[in-house]
Structure 1
């Protein structure tokens, strides 16, 4: 008997025909590796439990084994961010270990992130020249419009359909970075390159690229925001997804993960399904913490996306890949030897566990070292004040991401732990009034606190902790019952919350002049801090200044509480810190602290009674 139109036999035959027209393509993605190749924390001299490209490499190998067809992309910020990355920049004559690792893993393409420029264009160009894969960026050019790297590329690949037949597939790749790179690295880029907003560049180049390819992947070194985010926003990935012709989006820069519940409610974002404006998307964390996977089912006849799924795989359980460890081993060993170089001794621990609620000896040491360095250079014509900010206070880095230097012998890795970025020294000439404005910007780190209420969250999640940049050498109090002076666009919205600001035990004279030591990054205007051109700049790394200070003047005392919150009776706030903070409560005896509970990310929630 012949099978009827709805019979089981005919349904199976139809499925076979349909399967023969489908190609399964797996897109693998990393982002914000920041030079963390080996699963090793050079600052603490212990293994990284849940990060490192060596762990991600094991995930890549397994993901490739489970897919007939696959492509591997990196979304930028791979050349800077670890001691190994800085060692590589200082040894330009040697093969670049980060590029060597990416070549070994057979990346198909990558884009530039903003941190690729931290060591200058020459270093970047030398690294890019060693890459065995295309590196693209559509929105940065040399002056005059010549592309710095190719704006786009087309990968020609042979892919097998579900019936085993092979087809040629053209995959277009385009990349974008934040326009703010011109602020963050102004001293290295001004007069040499120009940057277009990602959305404007996408509108100019995607249509042309689409004519040359069957599938288009956008590597967006930007975070995930709402679909109508401002043109200059750092969170531009959702907007790029809405450009006609884009099929897949890889997001990054913010060190977050996607799909993830934190993005619920954003316009154009499916936080659970893993799509942006209907396009499959992933954002794979940082330092190799996750591998992003986008599985596509493509119709061979027109290469349209029949269906897709997006997910993340965490690197934590994965063992480091032996083959990659052999490639990076010589550089890793050299960096470990360098980090072990002795500097001196500290009689007190240096950590950032309470750096957002009280003066920290760790950040004070940076301020003290930089001010001393400038006094030695310039003399005492004007008072010199240093600045310090907490770089490692958890946040997106996780519950283990805190500065933690124990009392005892000091080595170069401890200087790296205290100052993690390759920023250079800059000096500003500021009045007392401008110093107050500086402190008002820093005080934006805290939410408005209502008197008489218990356990109010203290920290503003939209304020980056590294912008809590405090001027040392003055004393002041912060009135949390008053709103911050500035909003997150740097517009003044209130009279502020800094009170009782003193210098040398007297009220700070608004007209008095001071030299304030900061970094080239801050002097460039990042965070809205620098109101005028630098009085002096230097190519000296602040980390080198800190290292020399540790040699000459080893820490021997706790930090004086030169700033504090105004008392608020019957009021308490909460903040997250490292569980290791419990062993250091004696370092902040003037605070009324109560440990509460651990959250699902491993942070210890602490109560502070005001």
Structure 2
């Protein structure tokens, strides 16, 4: 049951709340997961984008501010990393006395406060501290501390804003802003954070700090760089925004991290979420997508005096098709031009096309390159102590990214932008020591992304909607088949060099620091080797010495299921690459509403 009464309708448009003589209207604008997508330009494909970017959000912010007398603009984290511009500034150009482009952009947009997400730490604490120091607004985080127990950032901040009620009476509204990040940052970025920072559970930190904040302010807004999942508390949960919303004293929640949109039909099945009202456990909430796809808007109606929330409206405004803000583009124009030049730097060549059009249904050279590069680097560093296997995954394979979100590199020259296209994140290289049984378990976890397929039924969806393709992380150097008819124990005929895999044998498995931390449900293991090379550096070394080629025959496949077929969605450009997967029985079925090309795969 809601903690508040609400006489407003949740909608994507409509009359703004106001007109009540004894009420105050506050508009909260929020961004999340911008990931350095400042300009409407895809540096990996060297072409403009028609959707997303903070430049488009800047235009939305201007419109939203014009509609309300009192607005605050907040960011929910993961702004610093995620595009070649982020890598260029961190690893190429450096700051060298210059303000970071994302800080310049956010200063220009007049943000009021922000929190940090997990990807803020990818470039190290010193670099992050320099960026935060150049911002003209405060950053907060309640559940990240230094090892001595002191706060890494202020736990909260209080913004005082003059407001007027419907009768024109002036009031000072004290707005408390508190922030949270996934506690898993200590695993994901262990190499740079261990011995320096510690984290606390999100909900536990809220219960500890919100009461004190509440005594200093009139309302509390939680910036939760955490997804929406589950009905109740789970200690150490990565996606804890729903449970956070139930903490007493929090008046509104901005969620993020999982790149979804709230309120939306995607959360219809979650009991604590009221999509029609825009609430989690009765608390107004919003999640504004990713890469500047949406601007989160929470309109609160407040009663002066006790400052109770008496009404609200929550929605996420799409930036799709909106012209980018020209002044914003001018602020970061030099950084954009430098990034374009940086992304063009030559690396080597490929003798075969590298794409991920069929990366969820068959081995592909683009994914094999990641595994081969990792295995070769591990072999060079560690020698012949144990057999070496490599992992590979398709980062860009549609899903939430849409029908253009696929790697598509023709045979020929390879530039730095292509390496970023193949491997989207600046993860560090890592090596794990795994038994044969653990290798088999790894493959089982990867194969779990597929739906269970009923034998004898045609055209069943192979994958759940918008499944994260980066969790389809297969270990190469083996041969096996995946039994889609089973819910568990799907890996069949697992062999190494033509012999059944010895479950007791030990292996060195080349992967990334991100996966070594157990992300995606993979069991975490202390790495035998962690860094200092990044995965992209490992790829570049491999391309320079061993240009990718079509390579060996497919090492994995689905078990045959006579009279059974599945469907999967890919890029419309895949129709021109069917010759690359001649072993698959594929039939194009047409274009979906979202613009994907749907195929039937006969099993």
| TM-score, normalised relative to structure 2 | 0.93
TM superposition shift of 1:454:
1.5
TM superposition shift of 1:268:
2.0
Mean Cα deviation higher: 594-603 or 168-177: 594-603
Q: How does 1:304-383 map to 2 (within 5 A)?
A: 304-383=308-387
CA distance in 2, matches of 1:577, 1:558: 23
Residue equivalent to 2:95: 92
TM superposition shift of 1:528:
4.6
Mean Cα deviation higher: 289-298 or 219-228: 219-228
Mean Cα deviation higher: 333-342 or 500-509: 500-509
Distance 1:513 1:196, change over 3 A: closer
Q: How does 1:595-606 map to 2 (within 5 A)?
A: 595-606=588-599
TM superposition shift of 1:468:
1.5
Is residue 2:492 matched to residue 1:499?
yes
Is residue 2:528 matched to residue 1:527?
no
Residue equivalent to 1:35: 36
The answer on whether the counterparts of 1:261 and 1:272 sit within 8 Å (CA) in structure 2 is no
Aligned length: 583
Residue equivalent to 1:53: 54
Q: Which runs of 5+ in 1 are unaligned?
A: 1-16, 485-495
CA distance in 2, matches of 1:439, 1:600: 33
Q: Which runs of 5+ in 2 are unaligned?
A: 1-17
CA distance in 2, matches of 1:461, 1:247: 32
Structure 2 SS opposite 1:103? helix
The answer on whether the counterparts of 2:53 and 2:293 sit within 8 Å (CA) in structure 1 is yes
Residue equivalent to 1:78: 79
Structure 2 SS opposite 1:19? coil
Larger Rg: 1
| Superposed CA offset, 1:264-317 (max 9, x none) | 131221112211222221110000000111112222233222211111211112
TM superposition shift of 1:372:
2.0
The answer on whether the counterparts of 2:463 and 2:568 sit within 8 Å (CA) in structure 1 is yes
| Superposed CA offset, 1:31-53 (max 9, x none) | 00011111111111111211110
| Superposed CA offset, 1:205-255 (max 9, x none) | 111111111121111111122442423333322222222221111111110
CA distance in 2, matches of 1:267, 1:512: 46
Residue equivalent to 2:544: 551
CA distance in 2, matches of 1:40, 1:209: 41
Mean Cα deviation higher: 347-356 or 379-388: 379-388
Residue equivalent to 2:10: none
Structure 2 SS opposite 1:223? coil
Q: How does 1:23-422 map to 2 (within 5 A)?
A: 23-90=24-91, 91-93=94-96, 94-422=98-426
- The partner residue of 2:555 within 543, 562, 581 is 562
The two structures, once aligned, show a CA RMSD in angstroms of: 1.9
Mean Cα deviation higher: 290-299 or 332-341: 290-299
Residue equivalent to 1:22: 23
Q: How does 1:473-512 map to 2 (within 5 A)?
A: 473-484=477-488, 496-512=489-505
Is residue 2:532 matched to residue 1:539?
yes
Q: How does 1:426-445 map to 2 (within 5 A)?
A: 426-445=430-449
The answer on whether the counterparts of 2:434 and 2:509 sit within 8 Å (CA) in structure 1 is yes
Structure 1 SS opposite 2:183? coil
| Superposed CA offset, 1:380-433 (max 9, x none) | 454322110111112222222211112232211001101111111112233333
Distance 1:603 1:194, change over 3 A: same
CA distance in 2, matches of 1:565, 1:506: 19
The answer on whether the counterparts of 1:21 and 1:301 sit within 8 Å (CA) in structure 2 is no
| TM-score, normalised relative to structure 1 | 0.92
TM superposition shift of 1:596:
2.1
CA distance in 2, matches of 1:246, 1:92: 37
CA distance in 2, matches of 1:273, 1:120: 40
TM superposition shift of 1:345:
2.5
Distance 1:538 1:243, change over 3 A: closer
TM superposition shift of 1:21:
2.4
Structure 1 SS opposite 2:266? helix
TM superposition shift of 1:461:
5.5
